[in-house]
Amino acid sequence: MAAATSAAGWHKGGSVHPILLLVVQRVALGLLLLLAVSAVIFLGVEALPGDTAQAILGQSATPQALENLRAQMGLDQPPLTRYFSWLGGLMTGDMGLSLTNGQDIAQGIGQRLGNTLFLAFWAAVISVPLAILLGLVAARYQGRWPDKLISGVTLSTISLPEFVVGYLVLYFLAVKWQIFPSVAMVFPGMGIFERLNAVILPVIVLVLVVLAHMMRMTRAAILNVMQSAYIETAELKGLGPMQVIWRHAFPNAIAPVVNVVMLNLAYLVVGVVVVEVVFVYPGMGQYLVDHVAKRDLPVVQAAGLIFAAVYIGLNILADVISILANPRLRHPK
């Protein structure tokens, strides 16, 4: 019986369920976008003066040596051929070798990306529920002291530049009181608790930096919904204010909140180079900056594409969640 209804739900009148269609559309669009980004990255690197062979040989480049190296690296092929062979390599996980130290790029990036995701994960696990909870509380006590306190504190932490927050946390928690380690160095073979202890300070800083944005959006979205007639109905039914917010207002405010949450998650993955530097955390940001400084183009290309993929992926996820959260799309007529 259950199977029959769900089947009926998915194939109403023989056509595809609109949600599935929308989701598939979004994912396809995302992939198309990623392809376009890869082309832009490739073109951007092409447009730079000099090429990889020149970057390797530097000042000692003679025309003969350049020609040899270009032939060896396949750089004498037309750009279109090279683009597709690069793309093909990426699909199969082969990103080539780093120019500066000859190490496998996929391996180097893999470890750094793992570290970045680890840090972002813990920052998100703490900040997202906390921000939403604070947003709900602020909306519940709108205009009163809890609202003002929450808004005041989170807005001041977001207004300070990240490195200032970082240095403040470093000074008090690591140098003055010596509670947590100042160097957030993690490496393979570290136990999970050791790892967590090492990243406490950067996690605190990242939470402080992303909290306000998500909190404010939750508060605004809920207050917006609170004007609706059905909230009044819920209140007249005799529900408590927190229950009204949680059961009736929040589900209808999810879409904008999810969008902001995803934007902040993307930031946690691709934009934390300053925090990495302050706490000496071996993540993607520092890795990318080092290789840009040395003109290590294959690494820069690969890292650029990964950042783009994270950004696009999280945005697709936000879209899909918003669609699923919309009852009109979930239950089409």
Partner 1 sequence: MTDQLDRFVAAAKMGRMTRRDFVGRTTAMGLSMGLASALYTKAAHAQAKKGGLIKVGMAGGESTNSLDPALAASEVPFVVNMTWGEMLVEVGPTGEIQMRIAEEVSSNAEATEWKFKIRSGVEFHDGKTVTADDVVATLKRHTDEKAQSGALGIVQGISEMSAEGDMVTLKLTAGNADLPFLMADYHLVIQPGGGVDNPAAGIGAGPYKVVVNEPGVRHGFEKFANYFDDSIGHADQTEIYVINDNTARVAALQSGQVHMMNRVDPKIAELLKNAPGVQVKHVAGRGHYVFIMHVDKPPFDNNDLRMALKLAINRQEMVDKILGGLGSIGNDFPINAAYPLFDDTIPQREYDAAAAAEAYKKSGHDGSPIILRTAPGAFPGAVEAAQLFQQTAAAAGIPLEIKREPDDGYWSNVWNVEPFCASYWGGRPVQDQMYSTAYLSTADWNDTKFKNAKFDELLLAARAELDQAKRKATYSEMAHIIRDEGGLILPMFNDFVDAVRDEVGGWEADPNGELMNGRGHVRCWLA
Contact between 290 and partner 1 by CB under 8 A: the answer reads yes
Contact between 162 and partner 1 by CB under 8 A: the answer reads no
For the chain, what is the largest distance between any 2 Cα atoms, rounded to a whole number of angstroms? Answer: 86
State in angstroms the smallest separation of the CB of 192 from partner 1.
19
Task: Return the H-helix or E-strand segment holding 233.
Answer: helix 229-236
Contact between 167 and partner 1 by CB under 8 A: the answer reads yes
Q: Which residues contact 168 (CB under 8 A, 6 or more apart)?
A: 160
State in angstroms the smallest separation of the CB of 221 from partner 1.
38
Q: Which amino acid is at 327?
A: P
CA 305, distance to chain mean position in Å, is 13
State in angstroms the smallest separation of the CB of 163 from partner 1.
9
Pattern of binders to partner 1 over 88-127, x per CB under 8 A?
----------x-xxx-----x-------------------
Contact between 164 and partner 1 by CB under 8 A: the answer reads no
Q: At what angle do helices 145-159 and 192-225 cross, to 10 degrees?
A: 120
In the block, tokens 């082969």 appear at 94
Instruction: Please tell me the distance from the alpha carbon of residue 170 to that of residue 278, in angstroms, as a whole number.
Output: 9
Interface residue with partner 1 among 104, 280, 330, 332 (CB under 8 A) is 280
**Which of these ranges, 136-144, 163-171, 210-218, 226-234, lies near partner 1 under the rule CB under 8 A?**
163-171
- 8 A C-beta contact, residue 221 and residue 166: no
Pattern of binders to partner 1 over 129-158, x per CB under 8 A?
------------------------------
Interface residue with partner 1 among 7, 20, 43, 185 (CB under 8 A) is 185
Instruction: Please tell me the distance from the alpha carbon of residue 287 to that of residue 294, in angstroms, as a whole number.
Output: 11
Distances from the Cα of 72 to the Cα of 66, 77, 90, 274, 287, angstroms = 10, 11, 20, 38, 27
**Which of these ranges, 15-23, 169-177, 243-251, 255-263, lies near partner 1 under the rule CB under 8 A?**
169-177
DSSP code, position 42: H
State in angstroms the smallest separation of the CB of 292 from partner 1.
10
State in angstroms the smallest separation of the CB of 63 from partner 1.
16
Contact between 190 and partner 1 by CB under 8 A: the answer reads no
State in angstroms the smallest separation of the CB of 299 from partner 1.
9
- Give the CB-side neighbour count of residue 206, counting CA atoms within 13 A: 34
State in angstroms the smallest separation of the CB of 283 from partner 1.
10
For partner 1, the closer CB: 252 or 286: 286
Q: Which residues contact 307 (CB under 8 A, 6 or more apart)?
A: 269, 270, 284
Contact between 187 and partner 1 by CB under 8 A: the answer reads yes
Closest by alpha carbon to 264, among 65, 129, 68, 69?
Answer: 129
For partner 1, the closer CB: 134 or 303: 303
State in angstroms the smallest separation of the CB of 184 from partner 1.
10
DSSP collapsed to 3 states, 119-165? HHHHHHHHHHHHHHHHHHHHHHCCCCHHHHHHHHHHHHHHHCCHHHH
Contact between 294 and partner 1 by CB under 8 A: the answer reads yes
Which positions lie near partner 1, rule CB under 8 A? 60, 98, 100-102, 108, 167, 170-171, 174-175, 178, 181-183, 185, 187, 277-280, 282, 286-287, 290-291, 293-294, 296
